[in-house]
């Protein structure tokens, strides 16, 4: 006698698990324009590579003879798979089973997914819809008791949710209504994407209505709210775009902190010089310019991957490659507040610099910063406190750093264009300008007596401004204070490719002395 009966029962249970919440619930998922969790996993990972763990876990129903009548699977699906040939952990919520809530969850499953990622040093992708195994009022009735937040199993789950940020790349995909614990899981990632028909909130519209706020899902936590608040990095129209964004993000990342970011073959000439850079910055300092075309002109063709575009918009953050080598790229955006650091921009800088440090990315900073934001709103948002936090994060880094001063470097925020107390490289474009304060506005304060005493105040102001403009030439600064080089802008790519090569052998893989927090 062999084990064929047991094998047949295993296959039956696996088939029941693949039915998920049943045909009606699957149909409802599709009619809402959303894929099921298993369809999502199949489209995210390399074809045929998903190795599921705990597929037949759930709540079984037996007849009087103890024969299996049916199986409602747990609403978490997870396992190991390949993305572009590299092993990752994928964990997803099955919204067709009780909307992903706690009374249909086996809490050990998502926790084991996090454990496997950490112990085997594998990136993890969380595919989130619903409360992600979080609370439901019905749990009180099904359990016969109320849940006390912070019990031992929960506490460890909350810990692992954030602890992996210091160990492995963590990606979150919000593909429906995401609330409570699900929202926390989505926010505690290195990179998060949501579809534009999705929503994320701590508590949904029915709960918020008790506060007198009658809001729909999109009004409360739609993509525009969450990307502009910085809670979510990116929003896309279709789920397949979310999977592509996750795969591209991971292409820059090492599998864990014990590795360095991968270097890829490159057929873009590292010595390429783009003539458009000579005209990229206007001579008129009151005119703005676009930073993203500059980025595209200097990085390996098509390699720039931006993160958090809608939040802290005076700073651009993302990954790029120079001669195939991955770097973390910071750049000022003068289209927003002239590139000044707002409270939101400072928060964005802290998070991104921490990410670069955690995973050993060299940093390239294209700087055009006239200082911190000023005015009443800047004071109300504690810009200076967020600013010094950003400076502290920058100064704590150990990873190689190279700054290109494109135009402005003024004030305290302008001083934070490179880490203090250690070697970093710094170049300046011909358009660079720096000082304690911009002349605009500063002349009136410093030379008030001279201007007031003049017969023609405007002519006197113009005379002083012309005199000081000649004195603040970057060439004069280079005579006394150290700037590695003032360069032809067309030399930017060759110099940054050279920096990326120099940085490659001096980085050491392994955990860092501080790591990224959510």
pLDDT for 63: 86
Domain of residue 234: give its range: 4-252
| Res 44 pLDDT > 60 | yes
pLDDT for 279: 95
Segment 145-162 shows an average pLDDT of: 64
If you search the block for the tokens 């979080």, which residue do you land on?
A: 134
Segment 15-34 shows an average pLDDT of: 90
Asked if residues 436 and 411 have their Cβ atoms less than 8 Å apart, the reply is yes
- pLDDT classification of 375: cutoffs 50, 70, 90: very high
pLDDT for 517: 73
Q: Are residues 219 and 282 in the same domain?
A: no
| Res 11 pLDDT > 70 | yes
Q: Are residues 43 and 186 in the same domain?
A: yes
Q: Where does a domain end: 252, 286, 321?
A: 252
CA distance 470 to 431: 13
Does residue 446 fall inside a structural domain? no
- pLDDT classification of 476: cutoffs 50, 70, 90: confident
Q: Are residues 228 and 282 in the same domain?
A: no
Does residue 70 fall inside a structural domain? yes
Q: Are residues 181 and 290 in the same domain?
A: no
Q: Are residues 248 and 313 in the same domain?
A: no
Segment 36-65 shows an average pLDDT of: 93
Could you give the 3-state DSSP secondary structure of residue 334? coil
CA distance 388 to 373: 13
Residues 299-311: pLDDT tens digits? 999 999 999 999 9
pLDDT for 440: 61
Q: Are residues 143 and 74 in the same domain?
A: yes
Orientation of helix 457-471 relative to helix 439-446, angle to 10°: 120
pLDDT for 376: 96
pLDDT for 482: 62
pLDDT for 99: 66
Q: Are residues 384 and 236 in the same domain?
A: no
Q: Are residues 145 and 90 in the same domain?
A: yes
CA distance 56 to 176: 25
CA distance 224 to 314: 18
Higher pLDDT, 121 or 459: 121
DSSP 181-199: HHHHHHHSSSEEEEETT-E
**Length in residues, the chain:** 518
Rounded to 5, what percent of the chain is helix, strand, coil?
40, 20, 35
| Res 126 pLDDT > 90 | yes
The CA-CA-CA angle for residues 156, 124, 310, to 5°, reads 100
Q: Taking the model in full, what pTM does it have?
A: 0.90
Q: Are residues 230 and 292 in the same domain?
A: no
Could you give the 3-state DSSP secondary structure of residue 242? helix
Higher pLDDT, 300 or 156: 300
Residues 102-122: pLDDT tens digits? 555 688 899 999 999 999 999
Does residue 451 fall inside a structural domain? no
Segment 4-17 shows an average pLDDT of: 91
| Res 454 pLDDT > 80 | yes
| Res 335 pLDDT > 70 | yes
pLDDT for 102: 57
Residues 240-260: pLDDT tens digits? 999 999 999 999 999 999 999
Q: Which of 26-40, 352-366, 368-382, 448-462 has the lowest mean pLDDT?
A: 448-462
pLDDT for 460: 82
Number of domains observed in the structure of the chain: 2
pLDDT for 448: 81
pLDDT for 148: 58
Q: Are residues 47 and 172 in the same domain?
A: yes
pLDDT for 82: 98
pLDDT for 294: 98
| Res 150 pLDDT > 80 | no
Higher pLDDT, 254 or 133: 254
| Res 152 pLDDT > 60 | no
Q: Are residues 365 and 481 in the same domain?
A: yes
What is the residue-averaged pLDDT of the chain? Answer: 89
């Amino acid at each position: 006698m062999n084990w064929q009966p047991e094998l047949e029962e295993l296959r039956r249970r696996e088939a029941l698990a693949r039915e998920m919440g049943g045909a009606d619930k699957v149909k409802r998922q599709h009619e809402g324009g959303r894929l099921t969790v298993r369809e999502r996993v199949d489209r995210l990972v390399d074809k045929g590579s998903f190795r599921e763990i705990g597929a037949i876990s759930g709540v079984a129903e037996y007849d009087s003879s103890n024969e299996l009548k049916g199986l409602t699977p747990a609403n978490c699906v997870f396992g190991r798979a390949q993305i572009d040939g590299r092993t990752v952990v994928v964990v997803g919520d099955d919204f067709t089973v009780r909307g992903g809530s706690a009374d249909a969850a086996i809490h050990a499953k998502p926790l084991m997914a996090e454990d496997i990622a950490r112990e085997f040093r594998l990136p993890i992708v969380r595919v989130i819809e619903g409360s992600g195994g979080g609370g439901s009022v019905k749990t009180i009735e099904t359990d016969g008791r109320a849940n006390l937040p912070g019990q031992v199993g929960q506490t460890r789950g909350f810990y692992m949710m954030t602890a992996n940020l210091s160990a492995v790349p963590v990606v979150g995909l919000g593909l429906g209504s995401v609330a409570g614990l699900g929202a926390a899981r989505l926010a505690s990632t290195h990179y998060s994407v949501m579809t534009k028909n999705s929503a994320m909130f701590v508590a949904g519209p029915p709960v918020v209505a008790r506060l007198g706020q009658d809001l729909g899902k999109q009004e409360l936590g739609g993509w525009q709210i969450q990307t502009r608040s910085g809670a979510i990095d990116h929003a896309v129209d279709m789920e397949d775009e979310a999977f592509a964004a996750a795969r591209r993000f991971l292409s820059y990342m090492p599998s864990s902190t014990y590795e360095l970011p991968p270097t890829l073959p490159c057929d873009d000439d590292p010595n390429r010089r783009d003539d458009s850079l000579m005209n990229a910055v206007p001579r008129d300092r009151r005119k703005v310019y676009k930073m993203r075309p500059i980025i595209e002109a200097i990085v390996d063709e098509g390699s720039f991957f931006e993160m958090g575009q809608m939040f802290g918009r005076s700073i651009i953050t993302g990954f790029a490659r120079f001669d195939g080598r991955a770097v973390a790229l910071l750049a000022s955006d003068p289209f927003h507040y002239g590139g000044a650091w707002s409270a939101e921009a400072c928060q964005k800088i802290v998070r991104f610099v921490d990410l670069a440090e955690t995973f050993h990315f060299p940093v390239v900073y294209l700087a055009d910063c006239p200082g911190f934001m000023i005015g009443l709103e800047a004071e109300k948002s504690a810009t200076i406190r967020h600013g010094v936090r950003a400076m502290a994060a920058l100064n704590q880094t150990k990873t190689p750093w190279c700054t290109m001063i494109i135009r402005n470097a003024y004030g305290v925020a302008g001083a934070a264009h490179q880490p203090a107390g250690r070697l970093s490289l710094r170049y300046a474009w011909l358009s660079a300008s720096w000082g304690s304060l911009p002349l605009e506005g500063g002349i009136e304060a410093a030379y008030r007596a001279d201007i007031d005493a003049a017969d023609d105040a405007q002519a006197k102001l113009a005379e002083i401004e012309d005199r000081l403009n000649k004195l603040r030439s970057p060439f004069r600064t280079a005579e006394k204070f150290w700037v590695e080089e003032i360069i032809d802008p067309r030399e930017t790519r060759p110099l940054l490719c050279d920096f990326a090569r120099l940085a490659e052998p001096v980085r050491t893989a392994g955990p860092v002395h501080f790591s990224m927090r959510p």
